[in-house]
Amino acid sequence: MLARDNDKVIGMQLGFFTMPIHPLDKDWRVSLREDREAFVLADELGFSEAYCGEHSTDAAENITSSAMFLATLVDQVRQMRLGTGTVNLPNSHPVRIAAEIALLDHLLEGRFNFGISPGGLPSDAEVYGNLGSARGEMFIECIEQVLEIWRSKPPYEIHGKYWTISTARTLIEDIGQGVLPKPLQRPHPPILTTVVSPFSASATQAGERGWDIISANFLLPQWVKTHWTKYAGGCALGERRAVSSRWRVAKSVFVADDAATARAYAVGPQSPYRFYYGQLLTKMLKAGRAVIFKPNPNLPDDSVTLDDVCERLIIHGTPDRVADEIIKFREEIGPFGTVLYAGHDWRDPTLARRSMALMAEKVLPLVNAAGA
């Protein structure tokens, strides 16, 4: 069954999402260049939208500002929408976020989606001084203040528990001093949040507030399925219609012209996909969040192996096989609107590029033809 929007059947869209995890010894200039090339290629191939994550304290996942990264693509990405995936709100200031996102929305001429989250990397929280703080509470206050800035006129006078915003003492409005910018899209760009836990309260919160959700590519399908239930419940609380075509789901996919090449690159010993999930597994075990990899939450953490994680979460193969697996995945979790092809390190740029091309030119048409 295809995603539905206002009862009109539409095809699945193809987007791109990357929280790239690169080898620690890789030249940062090379990884940044390749990450940018992936966005440009996605645009050339007709992807509908693309997102990137950010972390300040991760030498492997080394895009430190998603907004700054996207700004480098303004003149190269011509068609698809770009999105932060996500801005980690407690690690900044509402004024800085409001001003920079308004700027980015204008630079992209409104082709921008505003992805937000509380942030999930403990070392980021520690370095910004909010480890152990009520980050969820900070997250909500921050986005509410950002939206209030965009709604308001100076001198603002916005007071919260964590931040106070005012230009009352220095405002010279007739020359523009003390005036914060507003985004091109009014009242604001579309807001999305990533959902990374089973039965996530963040999905409910998003639905209630009118935001969209992106389900992460590192949960088992049975946990991804819970996101829609929670999101739809939130939409009901907010008296909004839950529209499945607005649900984005990220997935790790590798497509090749032959099955042997696909398997070796996706799950073999030198696979960049295997490296990615090895990094995530280590982080989740350390943080006590390995449940996302468990078919049964009562299983002990030491039952989770990297081999199992890779076999369960990476779709790989020829276009026919990948299309079949995506259709099965959709049947398991329910209809959604956009599959976000998850970006990984380009260990072999030729194979990585070919995979994206096959996904757009072969796999997506097969998926949509099956649902016609």
- Per-residue pLDDT reduced to its tens digit, 208-266: 999 999 999 999 999 999 999 999 999 999 999 999 999 999 999 999 999 999 999 99
By C-alpha distance, which of 81, 91, 293, 268 is closest to 192? Answer: 81
Domains of the chain: residue spans and CATH: 4-85+190-259+315-370 (3.20.20.30)
pLDDT the model gives residue 214: 98
Q: pLDDT per residue over 142-169, tens digit each?
A: 999 999 999 999 999 999 999 999 999 9
**What is the residue whose two structure tokens read 């994550």?**
53
* Cα distance between residue 342 and residue 202, in whole Å: 21
Q: Does residue 192 carry a pLDDT above 80?
A: yes
Contact 31, 25 (CB under 8 A): no
Mean pLDDT of 266-293: 97
Q: What is the pTM of this model?
A: 0.96
Average confidence score pLDDT of the chain: 96
Determine the pLDDT at residue 372: 53
Angle at 296 between CA 290 and CA 297, to 5 degrees: 45
pLDDT value for 361: 98
Which runs of E-coded beta strand occur in 196-330? 212-215, 248-255, 314-317
Q: How confident is the model at residue 3 (pLDDT cuts 50, 70, 90)?
A: very low
Say how far apart CA 74 and CA 131 lie, in whole Å: 34
Closest by Cα among 230, 186, 188, 225 to 208:
230
With a pLDDT cut of 90, the percent of the chain lying above it is 97
- What's the pLDDT at 10? 67
Instruction: Show the CA angle centred on residue 112, arms to residues 134 and 335, nearest 5°.
Output: 80
Q: Judge whether residue 281 has pLDDT over 90.
A: yes
The pLDDT of residue 355: 99
The answer, yes or no, to whether residue 81 has pLDDT greater than 60, is: yes
User: Does residue 109 register a pLDDT over 90?
Assistant: yes
User: Are the C-beta atoms of residues 262 and 254 closer than 8 Å to each other?
Assistant: yes
Packing angle of the helix pair 306-313, 272-287 (nearest 10 deg) = 120
223, HSE (Cβ side, Cα atoms, 13 Å): 23
1, pLDDT greater than 60: no
Rounded Cα–Cα distance for residues 277 and 22 (Å):
12
Q: Which residues does 240 contact at the CB level (< 8 Å), separation at least 6?
A: 207, 208, 210
Average pLDDT over every residue of 7-14: 73
Provide the pLDDT for residue 206.
Answer: 98
121 pLDDT more than 60: yes
CA 208 to each of CA 10, 215, 239, 247, 364: distance values in angstroms, whole numbers, following the listed order:
25, 17, 8, 14, 31
pLDDT of 122 higher than 90 = yes
The C-alpha angle 120, 133, 67, rounded to 5 degrees, equals 45
d(CA 321, CA 260): 12
- Indicate the pLDDT class of residue 371, thresholds 50, 70 and 90: confident
Residue 296 has pLDDT above 70, yes or no: yes
What was the pLDDT predicted at 291?
97
pLDDT of residue 8: 46
Instruction: Provide the pLDDT for residue 318.
Output: 98
